Amino acid sequence: MPEDRADTPPLPSPRPGQLLARGVCRHLLGHDFVTVEELVPAPGLRVDVMALGPKGEIWVVECKSSRTDFTSDRKWQGYLDWCDRYFWAVDEAFPTEILPDGTGLIVADAYDAEILRMGPEDKLPPARRKKVMQMFARHAALRWQAARDPELSLAGRGMA
C-alpha cells in the first residue's frame, strides 16, 4: 500500500529564471524544438535551456531575471562552444540594451515567449555535435527516470 504523503513538504516555488525557462521551453516546442534544462556540458558550466531542433540544430538559451543576474554572469561565452545558436531570455522589463551584440534575444514570461532576434548561426563541428547530442539524450533520460522515481539519487551522474 502506498505511503501517505500528506506530511511531505511542498515543493519550493520556482525562481524567476526557472519561470522564464518554462515559457521559453513552451515556445520552442511550438517550433518543434525539444528542450532540457540545467544541462552541464563541461565542469563549471550549466546551461539554463538547451534545445534540439527538428533538423538536429542545437540552441542554448540563458535566462536572466535581472540586470544583476546578467552582470554577475562571467561564463556565458563558454556556452558558445556547445551550440549552433545562442540566445538570452529575459522578461519584458529587462534592459535589453545591455545584452551583447551578436546574440539572440527571447522575451519570455512563465507561460510563453517570443524570439525577437535570432542568434547568429555558428555550426558545431561534427564530433562536438555528436557529444552534445549524447549529453542531451542522457540528460533527458535521467530527468525522465527521476520524475518516475523521485526517491532515486542521481548525484554523480551530472545531475544534483
pLDDT single digits (tens) 100-157? 999 999 999 999 999 999 999 999 999 999 999 999 999 999 999 988 988 877 666 6
Domains (range + CATH), the chain: 16-148 (3.40.1350)
Determine the Cα–Cα distance for residues 133 and 39; give it in Å rounded to an integer: 12
pTM reported for the whole predicted model = 0.86
d(CA 102, CA 26): 24
- For residue 98, the model assigns a pLDDT of 95
Asked whether the predicted pLDDT for residue 159 surpasses 70, the reply is no
